[in-house]
Structure 1
Amino acid sequence: MKHEITFIHDVRKNLLDTVAGFSDEQLNEKVKEDKWSIMQVLDHLYLIEMSITKTIQKILKNGETVSIAPKPIQYTVDRSTKVEAPSYVAPTDDFLTLEAVKEKLKNSRTALLQVIEQTSEEKLQEKGFPHPIFGLMSLDQWIPFIGYHEKRHIAQIEELIELKSRQMNESGTK
């Protein structure tokens, strides 16, 4: 589990580095009406991590022991297949500050790590819950999934930054 924890920490650092240097206004601005703002992407990542953490806790308490084959979760980063976020992890339309969202992300990560630290790897391997694309996934696969999911959204954020840059170049503003 040490490798998985290092992985999700590294991806989170990359995520925060990607948005560093932008103002709250820039991060909340939508470059297209049908796309999330960068801040909404960050809020979504917080909601996903909290949802997964709460579900892991619930399954550890009440879930049945099952045998689950590993899933190819590394394909999560492939953005050629659009996946609609369930409503319970849809981001807010409210204006958010980066400082506030960083705090939320820190709290969701702390909650996840507490669950991992209090649970044996065996328990994480023998229980699971379904993913909308991959089907039934063991709890231990949900942890690196968070990292792959964030990597997927880092690519989305980079696309939004590039799109905004193109819009500014086309309009002649800096």
Structure 2
Amino acid sequence: MSSVNENLAETRNHLVDEIKSFTNEEFNYKPGKDQWSVAEVCHHLVLLEGRTAKLIHHLVTNPEMNKAESKPIHLATDRSTKFNAPEIVQPSGEPFEVQQMLEMLNDARNKLLKILDSLEDQSVLAERSAVHPVFGEMPLTQWIELIYLHEQRHIEQIKEIKQFVNRH
């Protein structure tokens, strides 16, 4: 689990480096009608991490065991395939301040880590599974890995949006 924690931290640091220098106006700039602003991308990440933390907490405290095979989640970083975010993790569309979002990202991560740290036995994460909207039934260990893989995907999206912001 330590390499997963390192990947979570490293990817989050990379994300923070990408967004911390934006002005609030740049942060909320939408490059196109049907495209997300950097603020919306980050809000999506906050919502997703919060939902994942709740899911993990629910499943590890539930006595039913439901084990699944590993899925090819590394495909999450392939931006040539577009996915529509489930409604529950779509950004609200409201404007955010950069500092406010940094705090939201930090809070979401702290909640996830608190749940993971509270587990007496981390192996329960490999024993429990849930249905993912893209990959289907997969173990909770992969849900956690998917947080940083998904974040890496969106860091690339943020870099693309940045190019539009700089031309704006």
Pick closer, same or farther for the CA change 1:63–1:135 going to 2, 3 Å.
farther
Identity score, percent: 34
Aligned 8 A contact 1:126 1:138 in 2: yes
Hey, what does 1:163 align to over in structure 2?
Answer: 164
Q: Name the SS of the counterpart of 1:115 in structure 2.
A: helix
Aligned 8 A contact 2:29 2:165 in 1: no
Post-superposition offset of 1:161: 1.1
Hey, what does 1:84 align to over in structure 2?
Answer: 84
What amino acid sits opposite 2:38 in the alignment? I
Hey, what does 2:55 align to over in structure 1?
Answer: 55
What amino acid sits opposite 1:153 in the alignment? H
Q: Structure 2: 5+ residue runs without aligned partners?
A: none
Deviation digits for residues 79-122 of structure 1 (CA, Å, limit 9, x no counterpart): 11111111111112211111111111111101100111112221
Q: Name the SS of the counterpart of 1:137 in structure 2.
A: strand
Q: Name the SS of the counterpart of 2:21 in structure 1.
A: coil
Aligned 8 A contact 2:27 2:37 in 1: yes
Q: Which has the larger radius of gyration?
A: 1
RMSD, matched Cα: 1.2
* 1:34-53 pair list within 5 angstroms: 34-53=34-53
Aligned length: 167
What amino acid sits opposite 1:162 in the alignment? Q
Distance, in Å, in 1 between the alignment partners of 2:4 and 2:98 is 26
TM-score normalised over the length of structure 2: 0.94
Deviation digits for residues 6-41 of structure 1 (CA, Å, limit 9, x no counterpart): 001100000010112110111001111110000000
Aligned 8 A contact 1:121 1:140 in 2: no
Pick closer, same or farther for the CA change 1:51–1:63 going to 2, 3 Å.
farther
